[in-house]
């Protein structure tokens, strides 16, 4: 189901909270890229390749927003806590 260009799917970020590495699992779409934002909206990292595991060891402890893009151009935002 689509709402505009956003994905209404059940992507899963784990582990959450995370230490240095987290993974994304999506059974419904292929992920093309992700972007990681501070809780204030500043883009901190982006990955423009189709990965499922992401290294965040250089980020400080706190809450982040992860924007996930599908190959079809849809997107969704998930919260991620880093220990």
Record the tokens describing residue 62, joined without a space: 């706190």
**What is the average pLDDT value for the chain, to the nearest integer?**
85
What pLDDT sits at residue 2? 42
Nearest CA-CA partner of 30 in 46, 47, 52, 8: 52
23-62 tens-digit pLDDT:
988 777 788 899 999 999 999 999 987 678 899 999 999 9
Residues in the chain: 83
Binned at pLDDT 50, 70 and 90, residue 10 comes out as low
Give the list of residues 6+ apart from residue 22 with CB closer than 8 angstroms, or none: 13, 14, 15, 16, 53, 54, 56, 80
Three-state DSSP at 54 gives: strand
pLDDT over 70 at 69, yes or no: yes
Query: How far is the CA of 28 from the CAs of 3, 11, 47, in angstroms?
Result: 15, 8, 20
């Amino acid at each position: 189901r689509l709402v505009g260009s956003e994905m209404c799917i059940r992507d899963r970020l784990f582990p959450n909270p995370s230490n240095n590495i987290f993974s994304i699992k999506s059974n419904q779409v292929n992920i093309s890229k992700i972007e990681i934002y501070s809780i204030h909206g500043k883009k901190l990292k982006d990955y423009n390749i189709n990965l499922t595991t992401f290294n965040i060891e250089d980020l400080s402890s706190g809450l982040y927003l992860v924007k996930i893009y599908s190959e079809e151009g849809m997107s969704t935002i998930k919260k991620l806590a880093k220990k």
